[in-house]
Structure 1
Amino acid sequence: MGQPFCFDDKVVIVTGGAAGIGSGLVRDILSQDARHVAYLDVAQREGEVLERELINVFGTLKVMFIKCDVSNETQLNAAFKKVLNKFYKLDIVINNAAILTAEDTLYKRMVDVNFTAVICSTMMALAAMGNDKGGSGGVIVNVSSMLALKPNMHLPVYSATKAAVLQFTNNIATNDLYSKSQVRMMTVCLGPTDTALLSKQFSEHFDNGCTHCIASRTAERQRVESAVKGIIDVIKKAENGSTWVIANNEPPVDITVSVKEGVRIVCNKC
């Protein structure tokens, strides 16, 4: 990667940034002297409250809340344009937005937010940042889950969307595309984390589903701060196309070789 990566003077977009891991990422990146962080969320009240707080700490030009339903391509495109029109560049996109629901009638909503929106945002980010598109390169991080690594009968749609995020990122993050775009793309698979996403309704199924996803790992619930620090570390050091597990309040673990070996074994049996 050459020189050590830093957030100084970077323009960043974080989806799902009004609360939880997203808001933690916004705070942390701003504290590392980013030029500007724009965060997207449908939660207008939470987003505006956080924006006022962060403006008081970092200044008006440093942060911007954009109310946006990431599953709405028109709204997402408008959010990207708003950032680009103001700062004329984009350096990092973190696709963090996700929902988890037990409502059978809302499964399409989960697919749209958790997966389809990640595809749209990734494509928009590549168009804005790619060297081959007139940009200066950059970083895309797509947030998946340890449930992408192991089937879960209790959360089948959520698990499937996160597996799709992992496979999509691994398939698009080719060395050929990277050589043209100079945009690094990575996947982070989060273990159970203390956020509003894990209500009592889902926490047991989520925790149990993550247990033994990776050898010697359990499903200890991690702090939001640990997840945030792990994602920041991945942005700073990870290679294009790599996959990382962030769980148990421990540093990120590179599982790229294991993921690719699993695919190779399956392909050899086909």
Structure 2
Amino acid sequence: MGQPFCFDDKVVIVTGGAAGIGSGLVRAILSQNARHVAYLDVAQREGEVLERELMNVFGTLKVMFIKCDVANETQLNFAFKKVLNKFHRLDVVINNAAILNNEETLYKRMVDVNFTAVISGTMLALASMGIDKGGSGGVIINVSSMLALQPYMHLPVYSATKAAVLQFTNNIATNDLYTRSQVRMMTVCLGPTDTALLYKQISEQFDNGSTQCIVSRDAERQRVESAVNGIIDVIKKAENGSTWVIASNEPPVDITVSVKEGLRILCN
């Protein structure tokens, strides 16, 4: 990369943006003089409350809440079109939305939200931002978890979705695609983060803390601010196709070489 990425005058979409890490990202990006941040979530009450608050601080044209189930392709397409129709550009997409539910009964919903929606969001972002598609290039961040990197028997489906996010991003973020599109794609694997994680038998609300690694109740959790700042840092400086761990209130750590070496060893 040349100069670090700057949010000045950029148009951004954040999924799962009504609370937790997602809302933290919305606030942080607006504070860095973005032209507009649209955030998607199914949690309508929380989304509307946050929207009013942010409009009072940053102005009515700076932020927009869109009620959207990211697992519903029609709704996700509509959300992207709404942003593009209004601003005629898109510069950053952060696929952050995820849920954690009872894995025995709602595993299909978890796969749809945590993984399939990340694919859909990535494809829509590439179609909107790629210079080969008439865009100006941009950045895609797909949020994974440290559970993608280590076994955890208690959450097999959730862990599998986060591992799938990591593998999908690493495989699509080729140098050839970057050359054509000028869209950088990176994965962030979050460690335990101090967000309100909800355990419910049936839940249709995006839990933005579910992007964290759940190791044990006694595990040290990083502050939401640390996770948010780490993701912002990755957006600004990371190379295409790289993988980063953000944990323990420490700066992001580039683990790209370790991830690739691990796969190389398995293939030999």
TM-score, L = length of structure 1: 0.93
2:92 matched residue in structure 1: 92
**CA offset at residue 74 of structure 1?**
0.2
2:205 matched residue in structure 1: none
- The aligned runs of 1:137-156 (5 Å cut-off) are 137-156=137-156
2:215 matched residue in structure 1: 207
Cα RMSD over matched residues?
1.9
2:250 matched residue in structure 1: 250
**CA offset at residue 208 of structure 1?**
3.8
The structure with the largest helix share of the pair is: 1
2:206 matched residue in structure 1: none
Please say if residues 207 and 221 of structure 1, whose CA atoms lie closer than 8 Å, have aligned partners that are also in contact. Answer: no
**CA offset at residue 200 of structure 1?**
11
Q: Secondary structure at the match of 2:61?
A: helix
1:121 matched residue in structure 2: 121
After the TM superposition, which parts of structure 1 deviate over 2 Å for at least 4 consecutive aligned residues?
A: 197-203
Instruction: Work out the CA distance in 2 between the residues paired with 1:198 and 1:154.
Output: 16
2:44 partner amino acid: Q
1:45 partner amino acid: R
- The aligned runs of 1:176-191 (5 Å cut-off) are 176-191=176-191
**CA offset at residue 104 of structure 1?**
1.6
Q: Secondary structure at the match of 1:23?
A: helix
2:197 partner amino acid: L
Unaligned stretches of 5+ in structure 2? 202-208
Please say if residues 100 and 199 of structure 2, whose CA atoms lie closer than 8 Å, have aligned partners that are also in contact. Answer: no
Instruction: Work out the CA distance in 2 between the residues paired with 1:117 and 1:199.
Output: 21
Instruction: Work out the CA distance in 2 between the residues paired with 1:162 and 1:173.
Output: 17
**CA offset at residue 196 of structure 1?**
1.8
Please say if residues 152 and 215 of structure 2, whose CA atoms lie closer than 8 Å, have aligned partners that are also in contact. Answer: no
User: Which is bigger in relative contact order (C-alpha 8 A, separation at least 6)?
Assistant: 2
1:237 matched residue in structure 2: 237
Instruction: Work out the CA distance in 1 between the residues paired with 2:11 and 2:53.
Output: 19
1:206 partner amino acid: I
1:192 equivalenced with 2:192 (yes/no): yes
**CA offset at residue 220 of structure 1?**
2.1
- The aligned runs of 1:35-46 (5 Å cut-off) are 35-46=35-46
- Cα deviation, 1:117-148, whole Å, max 9, x if unaligned, reads 00000000000000110100000000000000
Q: Secondary structure at the match of 1:207?
A: coil
1:159 partner amino acid: S
Please say if residues 99 and 197 of structure 1, whose CA atoms lie closer than 8 Å, have aligned partners that are also in contact. Answer: no
Instruction: Work out the CA distance in 2 between the residues paired with 1:117 and 1:197.
Output: 20
Instruction: Work out the CA distance in 2 between the residues paired with 1:197 and 1:171.
Output: 30
1:162 partner amino acid: K
Q: Secondary structure at the match of 1:109?
A: helix
1:225 matched residue in structure 2: 225
**Count of residues in Structure 1 that have an aligned counterpart in Structure 2:** 259
Unaligned stretches of 5+ in structure 1? 212-218
Please say if residues 24 and 224 of structure 2, whose CA atoms lie closer than 8 Å, have aligned partners that are also in contact. Answer: yes
Please say if residues 146 and 189 of structure 2, whose CA atoms lie closer than 8 Å, have aligned partners that are also in contact. Answer: yes
2:163 matched residue in structure 1: 163
- Cα deviation, 1:168-213, whole Å, max 9, x if unaligned, reads 000000000000000000000000111122669999x91249x9xx
Please say if residues 207 and 220 of structure 1, whose CA atoms lie closer than 8 Å, have aligned partners that are also in contact. Answer: no
Q: Secondary structure at the match of 1:228?
A: helix
Question: Identity of aligned pairs, percent?
Answer: 87
